[in-house]
Amino acid sequence: RHDQCFFPLSVGGGGGEMALPLRVAEMTTQPLSELYRLEGKIGEGAYGVVYKGICERSRQVVAIKSMKTNREAFGIQMDVYREIKILKELQHPNIVRLLRAVISRDEENGGPATPKSDTTDSANKKPSLNPGISLSVVYSYAEHDLSQIIHHQKNLKKKFPKRMVKSITSQILKGLAFLHRNWVMHRDIKPANILIMGRGDDWGRVKIGDFGLARIFQSPLRKLGSDGDVVTIWYRAPELLLGAQHYTPLIDVWSAGCIMGELIKVSPMFPGDDKKKTKTKPYFYHNQMDMVTKVLGSITKDRFEYATECQHYQHVKSNPHQENNLHTFVDIPRNSSEFKVLEGLLCYDPQRRPQAAEILKHEYFKEKPLPSTNVFDVAIGEAAANYPFKELQRIRAQKVAKPLPSKRAASKSMTDRTKSGVPNSRRSMELPRRNPYDRNTRVEASRESREYRGSRDRSGGVYPRNSGKSSGVSRGSMRYDRERGGRTDRDRDRDRDRRRDDERDRDRDRR
């Protein structure tokens, strides 16, 4: 039974890897091609490729994330292991569902074969734990993601219906509240990771996906800041921008506030430039911080009590003072409940920033229009929009290189080509096929036997030199009527095409 077995995988990266047992409820070593039929490629990232597939047994549409193996540690990336470990324990309507994990060799997954040099450790001269092993993770398939829907709405030059903004925001917060209640930080909340289901039982339901940066924070063994940069820069909380080494799950709440503002404004709230940063690590993205303070005002000790203890506070303490103009930026009345929710989500101080479960109790989510489980439902009087599905890319079949023939076989094919109807010499290839019963043809053939070099005319034929008077035919004009048995223009065109095909075959055989 595969669901009760341990599959030892080398997990880690760089120099220090560790062998950890990996147990998933639906783990199998059956080849992926026998379980699912791939329909197309959805996208490709740093850790693997995502395909759309159909289960051969249940006909269920799924998303298959085929992971790239770590060639340095000869195993699976630690982020992949962490994602599987977290998702196999989480079951919630607003969390993407992990269906199965498939372990197989690269050849079985359709990927390249593992080189022989990768099957052993060159430094320690020891065989790896899993040479050529690849891991594919199967999820429930979502037809839309929020970034695609926002882009489509922006092209329409229309704002989202208020009920749709409320429905999406409430479902994101419900998913985050469930994660935080189970000691999990997502650390990469952004529109591209917010999935929306297509037609079916869960039509229009929001799912939080991509748990590659997620982490359990109940009892961390080291500083969370040692994991490096987390959260995409446009949705990164101010404590992360200031270089805080310790942070809380409220960084996900800030990202949810950025998404809510983007739904209201139909454009990113803080689109900073990630190239404008300090030269040394840890980086300080001053352009991103300027975008935030331009909307929310300056960071002071009154608004962020522990900002002075962050290592990058020195870069912002000398900036000119700016006022908070969030209400004018998103064009919402200051006294509205919608603005109060957005203002709470985008609070500078994480100690004053409310939890996701607390925000769901706000009166904003109890007012009409009430949020719906189907985000595509609109209130009475509002027009519904049809959003496009994800575009699929064709899966290119891998071309198998044919082995080059040996010199002996090549020479034999060059000398014995007449069996296949291909001419064996330059002269036989250039000369057209002629009617042997024609008098003019016999005259030309006899003259060619004496001086076999020919010259071409404009029509492509090859005729003997100085043959005009003796054969009674002018050179370069060889036009005869059908009644006299001569060659027509159609015959010459046919012969020219045949010679061109023969030349193509000869060049191909030589190559």
Q: What angle do CA 143, 112, 66 make, to 5 degrees?
A: 25
* pTM beyond 0.85: no
pLDDT score at 223: 67
Checking if the pLDDT of 430 tops 60, the result is no
User: How far is it, in rounded angstroms, from Cα 260 to Cα 166?
Assistant: 8
Least confident range of 110-114, 242-246, 420-424: 110-114
* Residues contacting residue 289 through CB under 8 Å, at least 6 positions apart: 238, 241, 242, 272, 315, 316
* CATH C-level class of 1-141: alpha beta
Question: Strands (DSSP E) along 342-489, which ranges?
Answer: 454-456, 462-464
Checking if the pLDDT of 190 tops 60, the result is yes
Query: What distances in angstroms separate CA 422 from CA 45, 492, 508, one per listed residue?
Result: 50, 19, 12
Whether 83 and 137 have beta carbons less than 8 Å apart is answered as yes
Tell me the backbone φ, ψ of residue 11, rounded to 5 degrees: -115, 130
Q: What residue has token string 């003259």?
A: 447
User: How far is it, in rounded angstroms, from Cα 183 to Cα 176?
Assistant: 10
Tokens of 243: 């270089």
pLDDT score at 78: 74
Query: 104 vs 101, which has greater pLDDT?
Result: 101
pLDDT score at 134: 72
pLDDT score at 357: 95
What does the domain layout of the chain look like in residue ranges?
Answer: 1-141, 407-510
- SS3 of 160, please? coil
User: How far is it, in rounded angstroms, from Cα 24 to Cα 22?
Assistant: 7
Which pLDDT band holds residue 417 (cuts at 50, 70, 90)? very low
**Beta pairing class for 61-67 and 48-55:** antiparallel
Checking if the pLDDT of 321 tops 90, the result is no
Which pLDDT band holds residue 113 (cuts at 50, 70, 90)? very low
**Beta pairing class for 27-28 and 98-105:** parallel
- Average pLDDT of the segment spanning 141-161: 92
User: How far is it, in rounded angstroms, from Cα 215 to Cα 83?
Assistant: 9
Checking if the pLDDT of 475 tops 60, the result is no
Q: Around 98, how many Cα atoms within 13 Å sit in the side-chain half-sphere?
A: 23
298: left (phi over 0), alpha (psi -120 to 50) or beta: beta
- Quote the mean pLDDT of the chain: 75
Checking if the pLDDT of 20 tops 80, the result is no
User: How far is it, in rounded angstroms, from Cα 342 to Cα 169?
Assistant: 10
Query: 169 vs 384, which has greater pLDDT?
Result: 169
Query: 12 vs 238, which has greater pLDDT?
Result: 238
User: How far is it, in rounded angstroms, from Cα 65 to Cα 52?
Assistant: 9
Catalytic residue, from 3, 79, 145, 188: name it: 188
Tokens of 483: 């009644």
The verdict on whether 229 is a catalytic residue reads: no
Checking if the pLDDT of 483 tops 90, the result is no
* Percentage of the chain modeled with pLDDT above 90: 35
User: How far is it, in rounded angstroms, from Cα 57 to Cα 61?
Assistant: 11
Which pLDDT band holds residue 81 (cuts at 50, 70, 90)? confident
Whether 155 and 333 have beta carbons less than 8 Å apart is answered as no
Which pLDDT band holds residue 96 (cuts at 50, 70, 90)? very high
* Residues contacting residue 137 through CB under 8 Å, at least 6 positions apart: 64, 65, 67, 80, 83, 84, 98, 100, 101, 102
Least confident range of 101-105, 322-326, 391-395, 501-505: 391-395
pLDDT score at 23: 45
**Distance of alpha carbon 311 from its chain centroid, rounded?**
36
Give residue-wise pLDDT tens across range 439-459. Answer: 555 555 555 555 544 444 444
Q: What is the amino acid identity at position 305?
A: E
pLDDT score at 439: 56
Enumerate the H helices of 242-323 as residue ranges.
Answer: 250-265, 286-296
User: How far is it, in rounded angstroms, from Cα 190 to Cα 209?
Assistant: 10
Q: What residue has token string 């199967």?
A: 138
Question: Strands (DSSP E) along 457-507, which ranges?
Answer: 462-464
Give residue-wise pLDDT tens across range 217-270. Answer: 876 656 676 667 788 999 999 999 998 888 899 999 999 999 999 999 999 999
Which pLDDT band holds residue 466 (cuts at 50, 70, 90)? very low
Checking if the pLDDT of 115 tops 50, the result is no
Tell me the backbone φ, ψ of residue 54, rounded to 5 degrees: -125, 130
Binding residues: 65
Whether 173 and 256 have beta carbons less than 8 Å apart is answered as yes
- SS3 of 262, please? helix
Give residue-wise pLDDT tens across range 346-366. Answer: 999 999 999 999 999 999 999
Which pLDDT band holds residue 106 (cuts at 50, 70, 90)? low
Checking if the pLDDT of 108 tops 60, the result is no
User: How far is it, in rounded angstroms, from Cα 210 to Cα 173?
Assistant: 16
Query: 93 vs 416, which has greater pLDDT?
Result: 93
Tokens of 493: 């065109």
**Beta pairing class for 48-55 and 206-208:** unpaired
Binding residues for ATP: 65
Q: Quickly count: other Cβ atoms within 10 Å of residue 23's Cβ.
A: 14
